[in-house]
Amino acid sequence: MPYLFTSESVSEGHPDKVADQISDALIDNFLAYDSSSKVACETLVTTGQVVLAGEVKSEAYLDVQDIAREVIRKIGYTKSEYMFEGNSCGILSAIHEQSPDINQGVDRQNPEDQGAGDQGMMFGYATKETENYMPLALDLAHKLLIELAAIRRENTDIQYLRPDAKSQVTIEYSDDNVPVRIDSIVISTQHDDFDEDTKMLEKINNDIINILIPRVKAQLKPSLQALFNDQITYHINPTGKFVIGGPHGDTGLTGRKIIVDTYGGKGAHGGGAFSGKDPSKVDRSAAYATRHIAKNLVAAGVCDEVLVQVSYAIGVAKPCGIFVNTFGTSKVNLKDGDIAKKIGEIFDLRPYAIEQRLKLRNPIYSETAAYGHMGRENKVVTKVFNTGKKNEKAVEVELFTWEKLDYVDKIKAAFNL
């Protein structure tokens, strides 16, 4: 029987994402100046106020207020009427040194024996339904908001947009799990005040459908463009006015959008957030590692869809276990448990090995903090920290290394494909 599946995304101006971006900017700055930094940093944002809290072990000294303000301005909170503005908001830092009790479980005399920064289970997922091996509903939800932010910054076609926004896409699937059509699209976008509410709603509705949607469709291959049709139900700012938004409308906290960050509800999630954590925290690094495994398995032809789980005990290097679910799509004559065993032979899942394989001790995390950590473009960029200051530093880094298809040949060889 055909069924519907829905995923959502939130913009970089959503209060929770503002918090994530500040936390990850702090991570990047610590790692840029001391790659061995251990950081767990949480951020709270509300009307005119930012609170930074967490634990740090690092040789680097940072002006955390300046870093936070730069992030807020870059997102677009630059006007006093937003009631949250980069230059004027108050910033309180309660960051202190990491507990030695935790650190003794992570650092080892032999780096390869580095223990996991916490217990828990992490999941990676991949599917053939999109070119980037991501669930389609989430991929479209992200694309809608990325393009909406681009339109906001252009400030030509639509001139009333403010930074906060959310999207949601519902897709109808056939009995054999193939996307058939888009059933509904929800877009809620913060906007400047209008003189008349009725004209405001009509204009926003028309602009989203006639400007945003065609720009997103143009980025897609023909088979996905065909999913858009005249029967789509649109919910554009369904509550009416959305002038009050961002941290003034809702308090934001680091780590509250973990499903948006991963697979939009497809597969599974271990519960641990990513942003604000250095890669010794397996909540983050092992989630990237399992995505890397899942994507390479599907790309190699082992299966069409797969969920990979790994679990750890705090302070212990070797994983407690590896689990695989191919959802009946396996192309090899092996049970899922046997596939999991082979994964343990191909991929070293000790925390230090993950850090080295995916180059996670580099300042690569700000780019992950909005529009998803998975399914993004792997590329090399140069990032500059503290521009124009005495300690200005340029660092060349490789982003989204867990999206590389660099293990396909090894997997094919291991599975005789």
Side chain identity, residue 163: P
Residue 410 marked in a binding site:
no
3-state secondary structure of 262: coil
- Tell how many helices (H) and how many strands (E) occur in the chain: 13, 13
Residue 113 marked in a binding site:
no
Report d(CA 102, CA 250) in Å as an integer. Answer: 33
Residue 278 marked in a binding site:
no
Residue 250 marked in a binding site:
yes
Residue 191 marked in a binding site:
no
The answer to whether the CB of 67 falls within 8 A of the CB of 26 is yes
Residue 143 marked in a binding site:
no
Report d(CA 258, CA 273) in Å as an integer. Answer: 6
335 Cβ contact partners less than 8 Å away, ≥ 6 residues apart: none
User: Token pair for residue 398?
Assistant: 């490789």
Report d(CA 264, CA 10) in Å as an integer. Answer: 11
Q: φ, ψ for residue 125 (rounded to 5)?
A: -140, 150
- Between CA 407 and CA 415, with CA 409 as vertex, the angle to 5 degrees is 100
Residue 261 marked in a binding site:
no
**DSSP annotation string for 290-311:** HHHHHHHHHHHTS-SEEEEEEE
Report d(CA 384, CA 394) in Å as an integer. Answer: 4
Which of 248, 264, 225 shows the shortest CA–CA distance to 371?
A: 264
Residue 128 marked in a binding site:
no
The phi-psi region of residue 155 (left if phi > 0; otherwise alpha if psi is between -120 and 50; otherwise beta) is: left
Residue 42 marked in a binding site:
yes
Residue 107 marked in a binding site:
no
Cα distances (angstroms) measured from residue 335 to each of 221, 269, 326, 339: 34, 23, 9, 6
Residue 281 marked in a binding site:
yes
The answer to whether the CB of 56 falls within 8 A of the CB of 23 is no
Report d(CA 47, CA 234) in Å as an integer. Answer: 31
Residue 165 marked in a binding site:
yes
Q: Which parts are annotated binding residues?
A: 14, 16, 42, 55, 98, 164-166, 241-242, 250, 256-257, 273, 277, 281
Q: Which parts are annotated binding residues for ATP?
A: 14, 164-166, 241-242, 250, 256-257, 273, 277
Q: Which parts are annotated binding residues for L-methionine?
A: 55, 98, 250, 281
Q: Which parts are annotated binding residues for K(+)?
A: 42
Q: Which parts are annotated binding residues for Mg(2+)?
A: 16
